[in-house]
Structure 1
Amino acid sequence: MKEIKWAVLGCGVIANEMAVALQKNGKNIYAVGNRTHEKAAAFAEKYGIGKVYDDFHEMFTDPEVDVIYITTPHNTHLGFMKEAIANGKHILVEKSITLNSDELDEAIALAKEKGVIIGEAMTIYHMPIYKELKKILDSGRLGRVNLITMNFGSFKEYNMKNRFFNRNLAGGAMLDIGVYALSFIRWFFDSKPDQLLSQVKPAPTGVDEQAGLLLTNQEGQMASVMLSLHSKQPKRGMVSCENGFIEIMEYPRAWEAKITDASTGESEIIKAGDNADALAYELADMERAINGEASAMHLDYTKDVMDLMTSFRRTWGYTYPEEEK
């Protein structure tokens, strides 16, 4: 089997994590590109990467590159995705994969034409604990999933130049943290929610600072979500079933879950994987997809979640400059 060669676009926190994760999988990044060449060169020296592009666009036409991890801000993703796809490169894209459903639909259609794989770097679809919990639920032991409750809140100072509140950098709670909560819900729901209600509080810049979401699907499964970028909350998810419930803390990169039996009140802790290896699991699944197991990246779930986020933002009347052209 041909060795898959990775390139990374961007040299920020996620790119550093990616470099470490790939080494955990027994590989190394083949090439790196960045808007600032000096940063790319320093990154390459740090991780022993052999190739640095003078112009990062050369990454997209390099015949040696098989797959590109795009780690740049949300609002730059589509342009880079289209450039990569046009040159036959598979792409793993940092969440949120695009700004909205129209962008994602365009990318999916282009990728289908070119026969390349698109994946979103969404930890929830790749952490071993979620795969284990899916097996437990599929066994029928806990009965039907009826209700999911989600919390995710972090306190960010009102620095309107940072990406969290900056409209020009696609800031806001939905694309930054809501994507995790909705991905969690989609993982455990039988189908995509089709009834949506919400309330939102804007930040001074006009992006969504805080939101409450209610979702229901055609099977009658319900979920509630509370998000905030200016108020600390636990990263907690609870899946309520007929015969018990599952509690998961630090759910974006969870490694354990607590399952409580409804009839006895007894609890057990289920463990699988390591939160420190979150990106390593994503990269391994992306390689599986490239090698023929396309479902390993769960692009159908990514599409459903993007549809939900787009619907909520349209209801609020919240847009980004790229969406107003």
Structure 2
Amino acid sequence: MKTYNWGVLGCGVIANELALAMKNHNKKLYGVTNRTLSKAKDFAKKYEIENVYDSFEDMINDENIDIIYITTPHNTHINYIEKALNKGKNVLCEKSITLNSDELDKGMAIAKEKGLVLAEAMTEYHMPIYKELKKRIAEEKLGEVNLITLNFGSYKDYDMKNRFFNRNLAGGSMLDIGVYAISLARMFMKSKPNKVSSMVKYCETGVDEQASILLMNEEQQMATIMLSLHSKQPKRAMISCANGYIEVMEYPRGMKAVITYTDGEVEEIECGDTKNALWYEVEDMEETLTKGDDLMNREMTKDVMDIMTDIRKSWGMTYPEEE
């Protein structure tokens, strides 16, 4: 497979995980840039990265870079996506890939026009456990998927300047954690949900602190989702099928599933490693570029963004960039 040069924008938690994942697999980031240059230099020194750019523009003007990983806040994504794509760079962007469907459509249109890949860094699409579970379901022993139940709750202190609650940083449960739940639901549903209901509780800044979502598609598969940024819940997924149910804990980077069949048989499956979550993304992105097969689930990314956008519209909740 061709060797691809990666550049990363940002030096936060995800960027560190990306650099470490590459290091653990004998690969290095080619370059890094950050709003604060000193942080980029420290990051480069830590991970032995040869190229540090004074600005994002300098990075995208480097002809040697093939792929840029964007790790900045949600509301900055579309600006960087458009600039990178227009300079001929493939883009892997942290979730939520954009604020809304209009932004995503813009990015996808540019990528299509220029023959590039624009994808969301959604760990679930690449974790081996889900690829294995989809195979198991296809083998028909479990039967059809009927219902998916998803919880994701984190307890965050009520610091309204924190990005989780900050409207100016596109805070709220939907874009930060809901994207994981809706993406997993979509992955195990035969088609995009066409019926969506929801309820929301706001925090004082006007972003969604807590939400409940109900989805159903034409095949009448259903998903129920509970989200919270101020109430701890397990990150638990349950996929209920005709002949049994699957449970996955810590599902955004799941590696173990327990299947309980209706006859009482219990099967445990371990596949992949949580520590390699970012590496699986890198592998699938590079294989997509090399072979042309879409291992990045871009159509599902579009479906999920449409659902999130429609739900927020039904709430009447917007961000400053949308007003």
TM-score by length of 2: 0.99
Q: Give ranges in structure 2 of 5+ residues lacking alignment.
A: none
Pick which of 22-31 and 148-157 moved more: 22-31
Give the C-alpha shift of residue 24 in structure 1.
2.6
The answer as to whether partners of 1:41 and 1:52 remain within 8 angstroms in 2 is yes
Partner residue, 1:41: 41
| SS of residue matched to 2:310 | helix
TM-score by length of 1: 0.98
2:309 maps to a residue whose letter is: T
Partner residue, 1:7: 7
Query: What is the CA–CA distance in structure 2 between the aligned matches of 1:97 and 1:55, rounded to whole Å?
Result: 21
The answer as to whether partners of 2:23 and 2:47 remain within 8 angstroms in 1 is no
Deviations 1:45-97 (A, max 9, x none): 00000010122321111101000000000000000000000000000000000
Pick which of 284-293 and 83-92 moved more: 284-293
Q: Does 1:111 align with 2:111?
A: yes
Q: Does 1:306 align with 2:302?
A: no
1:20 maps to a residue whose letter is: L
Give the number of equivalent residue pairs.
323
Query: What is the CA–CA distance in structure 1 between the aligned matches of 2:148 and 2:54, rounded to whole Å?
Result: 48
Deviations 1:160-208 (A, max 9, x none): 1111000000000000000000011011000010100110000110000
Query: What is the CA–CA distance in structure 1 between the aligned matches of 2:284 and 2:68, rounded to whole Å?
Result: 14
Query: What is the CA–CA distance in structure 1 between the aligned matches of 2:19 and 2:309, rounded to whole Å?
Result: 31
Partner residue, 1:101: 101
The answer as to whether partners of 1:234 and 1:249 remain within 8 angstroms in 2 is yes
Query: What is the CA–CA distance in structure 2 between the aligned matches of 1:229 and 1:2, rounded to whole Å?
Result: 42
Partner residue, 1:170: 170
Query: What is the CA–CA distance in structure 2 between the aligned matches of 1:221 and 1:232, rounded to whole Å?
Result: 27
1:266 maps to a residue whose letter is: E
The answer as to whether partners of 2:91 and 2:118 remain within 8 angstroms in 1 is yes
1:91 maps to a residue whose letter is: V
Identity of aligned residues (%): 61
Partner residue, 1:26: 26
Partner residue, 1:142: 142
Deviations 1:303-325 (A, max 9, x none): 0000010011000000000001x
Query: What is the CA–CA distance in structure 2 between the aligned matches of 1:281 and 1:220, rounded to whole Å?
Result: 32
Write the mapping of 1:70-89 to structure 2, written as runs, cut at 5 A: 70-89=70-89
Give the C-alpha shift of residue 302 in structure 1.
0.5
Query: What is the CA–CA distance in structure 1 between the aligned matches of 2:171 and 2:270, rounded to whole Å?
Result: 34
The answer as to whether partners of 1:237 and 1:249 remain within 8 angstroms in 2 is yes
Query: What is the CA–CA distance in structure 1 between the aligned matches of 2:168 and 2:200, rounded to whole Å?
Result: 19
Write the mapping of 1:1-325 to structure 2, written as runs, cut at 5 A: 1-262=1-262, 264-324=263-323
Query: What is the CA–CA distance in structure 2 between the aligned matches of 1:124 and 1:293, rounded to whole Å?
Result: 20
Give the C-alpha shift of residue 293 in structure 1.
3.1
2:312 maps to a residue whose letter is: R
Give the C-alpha shift of residue 251 in structure 1.
0.2
2:254 maps to a residue whose letter is: A
The answer as to whether partners of 1:117 and 1:294 remain within 8 angstroms in 2 is no
Query: What is the CA–CA distance in structure 1 between the aligned matches of 2:251 and 2:55, rounded to whole Å?
Result: 38
| SS of residue matched to 2:54 | coil
| SS of residue matched to 1:273 | coil
Give the C-alpha shift of residue 294 in structure 1.
3.6
Query: What is the CA–CA distance in structure 2 between the aligned matches of 1:56 and 1:44, rounded to whole Å?
Result: 15
2:303 maps to a residue whose letter is: D
The answer as to whether partners of 1:25 and 1:284 remain within 8 angstroms in 2 is no
Pick which of 241-250 and 17-26 moved more: 17-26
Deviations 1:260-291 (A, max 9, x none): 011x2121101100011100100110101111
